[in-house]
Amino acid sequence: MNIPAQSLINSLTDIQSGFAYLWPEIILTFFFLLLVGLDLFKATAVKIMLPFVALAGIVASIMVQVNDLNNIASISIKHFFVGLLISDGLAIYAGLLFSVAGIFTIVLSLLNQNLKVKFSGRGEYYAYLLVLLTGLNLMAKSVNLLMLFVAIELVSIASYLLTAVIKKQRNAMESGLKYILYGTLASGVMLYGMSFLYGFGGSLNFTDTLFWQNLSRLSSPIFIAVFLLTFAGFLFKVAAAPFHFWTPDVYEGAPVPVVAFFSTAPKIAGFVVIIRFLIQIRNHLATILQDDLILLIGGAALITLVIGNFTALWQRKARRLLAYSSVAHAGFVLAALAALADNSISAILFYLTVLLFMNFGIFLIVQIFEDKLEVADLNGLSGLGKTYPFLGILAIIFLISLTGLPPTAGFTGKLLLFTNIWQNYAATGNSFLLVLLLSGLLLTGVAFFYYIRIPYFLFFKRNLSEGKKVMLLKENIILALLAFPVLFIFFQPSWLTNVIEQVVLYSK
């Protein structure tokens, strides 16, 4: 048998065996097709089933991911699909977080009044969500520049459609258009940078040693320029400056469940991709570029922290305030990434896990304010904490956690990030890491001032409205379930840190 034929057979065998590592994506794709088929039927009973079909698909994928996580020690790190994708602890754990975010999104969607009143394409909505989850999983597993770009575009297209899904609402269409324009620009810049990486590196696989050996021959300014161009798309996904401009408009115009999802899952996927790149850079180019990269990543973190926190101070609407706070959270994670250290990954994964529960909790409260109580700005919250004390107390818990204060998991998360930055400063002696640490501590104080405005209006301002009190039984139950891990992880963080340590140990 000639060599090309044997090579083709080996590639086909590798592709065939690779499907064993894609069960979550295969399940999500199957349920996506099932949703599209069921949506063709006009019967009311079928339409009512659609969210539960999507929920079943996500639960099925979670079962596979949990099984993989439990057996992570016996699953070797494996490149598959001819080196396009990788199966390791980081990809499995990120996929599990995406699926949890998908479940929370469906739950919030079932409680959302706008999706019931103004929304006709229920099948489309849940189908887009499954496509988005599939793309996020592929992003977390991608180690090939071309595959990574395809996965990011799959995520982007599904995100654009979800943003503008309520076609009868002008804000949704406007924010969807802005999102497309900003996303197209970021994708174009990123693809331009990737073309240079491929040209200089000689390979599309960014975990290949030869790829980095070729890049090491570049002068530092050229490499930094190429690195910046490539990272444009990643910074867009995590809503970091200067690619954060889409955030307030999309957060204000899209349905609340979609906004809650955007504030967590794509951000997690973006940071997973950044972590993969920085691990490779640290392993192959740290001696050449460490100081330059600390300055570059740290500079982006500092700008993101300043813009996010100080702009949030001036917001009068809860959605826009949380949009800029989301930008600020991206800055904290980038600050921890600046030192390119191993211990950064554990701290970041812990923080992102906690952020998942915090963000969905606070956005469910925003949804209750808008749908049930018809309140959109902070002034309208006046006195509602006294009228709905359980809602007000849970809002305080989530806001304290977002600030990073005890007794909540947000405090533990920020403590781990700041401790990590300090340890890396002590190890490297780079003074910019100390600047990042002090800036993060000071800007946490700034965050306290804009977060505390919501409890201030809830409990210390008089309610002059004469609206009738509404029942919030289902919403309160879901909020309590979201608040429980925020409190529990503070008192018992070891179970989560142990899982994350195993994840990091079996990651590449």
The pTM for the full model equals 0.93
| Cβ atoms 304, 241 nearer than 8 A | yes
Q: Is residue 492 part of a domain?
A: yes
Q: Is residue 3 part of a domain?
A: no
Residues 6+ away with beta carbon under 8 Å from 326: 239, 247, 251, 263, 267, 308, 359
Q: Is residue 432 part of a domain?
A: yes
Q: Is residue 196 part of a domain?
A: no
Q: Is residue 164 part of a domain?
A: yes
Mean pLDDT of 26-50: 90
The total of structural domains in the chain comes to 1
Q: Is residue 210 part of a domain?
A: no
| Cβ atoms 227, 256 nearer than 8 A | no
pLDDT tens per residue, range 200-259 = 999 999 988 899 989 888 888 888 888 889 988 899 889 898 888 888 888 988 889 999
What mean pLDDT value characterizes the chain? Answer: 87
Angle between helices 44-70 and 89-111 (to 10 degrees): 150
Closest CA to 362 of 315, 310, 400, 316: 400
Q: Is residue 99 part of a domain?
A: yes
What per-residue confidence (pLDDT) applies to 82? Answer: 78
pLDDT tens per residue, range 377-412 = 888 888 888 888 999 999 999 999 999 999 999 999
pLDDT tens per residue, range 309-351 = 999 998 989 999 999 999 999 999 999 998 767 678 999 999 9
What per-residue confidence (pLDDT) applies to 255? Answer: 87
The range of the structural domain enclosing residue 412 comes to 14-183+244-505
Q: What is the rounded CA–CA span in Å between residue 493 and residue 486? A: 10
Tell me: pLDDT of 168 over 60.
Answer: no
| Cβ atoms 99, 24 nearer than 8 A | yes
Q: Is residue 206 part of a domain?
A: no
